[in-house]
């Protein structure tokens, strides 16, 4: 996905939400920001120029418009004859700046700033994002953990645009109480600009991170192999700075595409859960906010009118595991979703509470663990139409194949079609089946890729660890 395409998709995702939702989505203080103001800004008249050169010129020389002969006077400077007229054209008088029309000001609002247009380049928006944008994504971890994560990422000489750490090695998780001898592996994701170039530098610095077959194949073939499935290359069981780490490499384009559209739900699903951002990038920060809003709306469509915040967090966490073959095989802890949420509710709350409070029809007071939502057809249709593109397409196809009545309604009245879908009692089941379809293929491909990317020995070791987690969860 190109930079412009990613930007335009983000803007379209943001344009279809309400004014209140937009202000909440972009973070505190954004309503005062010039590029995204939700209130009209007062247009002050431009004061006249008072630069020293202009002042000096106006005091020491006559105005160019005060005397017509001044501009046509003979020039004697640098000439042997005082009677020869100048052949140069007279300097035109500067045009006065038009006065602002105070009677009908045109306020600069976020709608005009973010209107979808091919002329808007990505750079015109992202550098203007204020520092507090996406503050809900900046989750705190203990200083010792933060220092270790930053030290590990700083060890890599290859350029990393965006980096985050996730999993039980960073955030508390039931079953991993950080006991001696049971310290979990630290998991990282690195988003880079050019995978071929990055792997070439990284293999030169850390050749032991790659299996022999990958070193022989070279960085070009590694980057091509990385693009298959969800677009990740993992190096696992790497001892670094006194810790055992696993890091995945992807491109910024691949990551932003999945965050916006849920193409594979592999990377975006991991970022539904608490992560610790180590290196930030404004482009990914923007698309991650859209991704979190997508997860919240999807959960609202499958939950009842009243539910607890833990139910909300477990529902969102389960999205990326739906259809994952490891959850059916003896390769993953059956209680993984519950184990993640049970000790991480504080971080989940930080991620989603402010976003949820800005969605119409959602009632979630601060400090309350009960969430209520309006479940009338029009409200649910508003959530449904704002789902990520890939999920919405799967839901639509399932309903069109479900009954000729839906197909005929879609052709005749599209709004009535979506209203009927949103009011259908089977919609939560359809969404769950669609999520399984999205996740199953990429998750299977990535599991098989692990044999190549990690090598036979490390793959066997990793599989045995997963089987141990499955057995532990079963008991």
| pLDDT tens for each residue of 114-123 | 333 333 333 3
Average pLDDT over residues 205-230: 93
Average pLDDT over residues 420-443: 95
Q: What is the DSSP letter of 158?
A: S
pLDDT tier at 12 (50, 70, 90 boundaries)?
low
pLDDT in tens, 315-345: 999 999 988 887 776 556 668 899 899 999 9
Of the two residues 62 and 242, the one the predictor is more confident about is 242
Q: Is the pLDDT of residue 398 over 80?
A: yes
Q: What is the mean pLDDT of residues 133-139?
A: 92
Confidence (pLDDT) at 8: 56
Q: What is the pLDDT of residue 249?
A: 97
Q: Which two tokens stand for residue 219?
A: 């960085």
Averaged pLDDT score across all residues of the chain:
77
Q: Read off the pLDDT band of 35 (50, 70, 90).
A: very low
Residue 475 has a pLDDT of 54
Task: Look at residue 143 and tell me whether its pLDDT is greater than 90.
Answer: yes
- 149 has pLDDT over 50: yes
Q: Is the pLDDT of residue 247 over 80?
A: yes
Average pLDDT over residues 403-415: 88
**Over 60: is that where the pLDDT of 108 sits?**
no
CA angle 301, 302, 307 (to 5 degrees): 100
- Using an 8 Å Cβ cutoff, are 249 and 453 in contact? no
H or E element: which one contains 12?
A: helix 3-15
Beta bridge partners of 362: 373
The Cα 207–Cα 190 span in angstroms is 18
Q: Band of the pLDDT at 448, cuts 50, 70, 90?
A: confident
Rounded Cα distance, 300 and 374, in Å:
10
Task: Give the residue-averaged pLDDT of 413-418.
Answer: 92
Lowest mean pLDDT among 258-272, 286-300, 315-329, 422-436: 315-329
| pLDDT at 41 > cutoff 80 | no
Residue 395 has pLDDT above 50, yes or no: yes
Q: Quickly count helices (H) and strands (E) in the chain.
A: 19, 8
SS3 label, residue 164: strand
Tokens, residue 196:
């071929």
Cα(393)–Cα(412) distance, integer angstroms: 19
Q: Which residue has the higher pLDDT, 88 or 164?
A: 164
Task: Give the whole-angstrom CA distance, residue 243 versus residue 151.
Answer: 11
Q: Give the tokens for residue 452.
A: 């190549």
Q: 109 falls in which pLDDT band (50, 70, 90)?
A: very low
pLDDT at residue 81 tops 60: no
Position 60 scores a pLDDT of 46
The whole-number pLDDT of residue 235 equals: 94
């Amino acid at each position: 996905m190109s930079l412009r395409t990613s930007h335009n998709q983000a803007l379209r995702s943001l344009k279809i939400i309400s004014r209140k939702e937009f202000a909440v989505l972009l973070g505190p203080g954004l309503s005062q920001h010039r590029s995204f103001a939700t209130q009209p800004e007062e247009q002050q008249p431009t004061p006249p120029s008072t630069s020293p050169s202009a002042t000096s010129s106006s005091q020491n020389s006559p105005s160019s418009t005060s005397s017509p002969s001044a501009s046509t006077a003979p020039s004697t400077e640098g000439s042997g004859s005082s009677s020869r007229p100048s052949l140069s054209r007279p300097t035109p008088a500067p045009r006065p700046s038009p006065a602002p029309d105070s009677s009908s000001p045109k306020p600069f609002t976020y709608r005009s700033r973010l209107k979808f247009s091919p002329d808007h380049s990505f750079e015109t928006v992202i550098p203007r994002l204020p520092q507090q944008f996406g503050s809900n994504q900046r989750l705190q971890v203990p200083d010792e953990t933060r220092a270790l994560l930053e030290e590990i990422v700083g060890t890599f000489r290859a350029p990393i645009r965006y980096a985050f750490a996730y999993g039980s090695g960073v955030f508390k998780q039931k079953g991993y109480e950080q006991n001696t001898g049971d310290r979990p592996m630290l998991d990282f994701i690195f988003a880079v600009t050019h995978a071929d170039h990055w792997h070439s530098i990284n293999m030169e610095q850390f050749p032991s991170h790659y299996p022999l077959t990958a070193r022989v194949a070279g960085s070009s073939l590694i980057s091509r192999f990385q693009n298959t499935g969800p677009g990740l290359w993992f190096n696992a069981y790497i001892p670094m700075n006194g810790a055992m780490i696993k890091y995945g490499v992807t491109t910024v384009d691949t990551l932003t595409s999945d965050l916006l559209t849920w193409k594979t739900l592999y990377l975006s699903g991991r970022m539904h859960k608490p992560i610790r951002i180590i290196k930030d990038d404004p482009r990914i920060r923007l698309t991650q906010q859209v991704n979190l809003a997508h997860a919240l709306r999807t959960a609202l469509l499958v939950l009842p009118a009243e539910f607890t915040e833990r139910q909300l967090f477990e529902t969102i966490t389960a999205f990326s595991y739906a259809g994952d073959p490891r959850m059916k095989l003896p390769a993953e802890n059956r209680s993984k979703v519950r184990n993640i949420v049970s000790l991480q509710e504080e971080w989940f709350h930080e991620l989603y509470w402010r976003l949820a409070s800005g969605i119409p029809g959602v009632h979630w007071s601060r400090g309350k663990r009960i969430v209520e939502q309006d479940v009338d057809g029009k409200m649910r249709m508003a959530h449904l139409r704002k789902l990520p593109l890939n999920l919405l397409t799967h839901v639509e196809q399932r309903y069109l194949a479900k009954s000729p009545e839906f197909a005929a309604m879609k052709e005749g009245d599209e709004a009535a079609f979506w209203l009927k879908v949103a009011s259908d009692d089977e919609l939560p089941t359809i969404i769950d089946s669609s999520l399984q379809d999205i996740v199953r293929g990429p998750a299977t491909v990535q599991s098989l890729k692990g044999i190549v990317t990690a090598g036979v020995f490390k793959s066997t070791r990793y599989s045995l660890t997963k089987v141990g987690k499955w057995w532990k969860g079963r008991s």
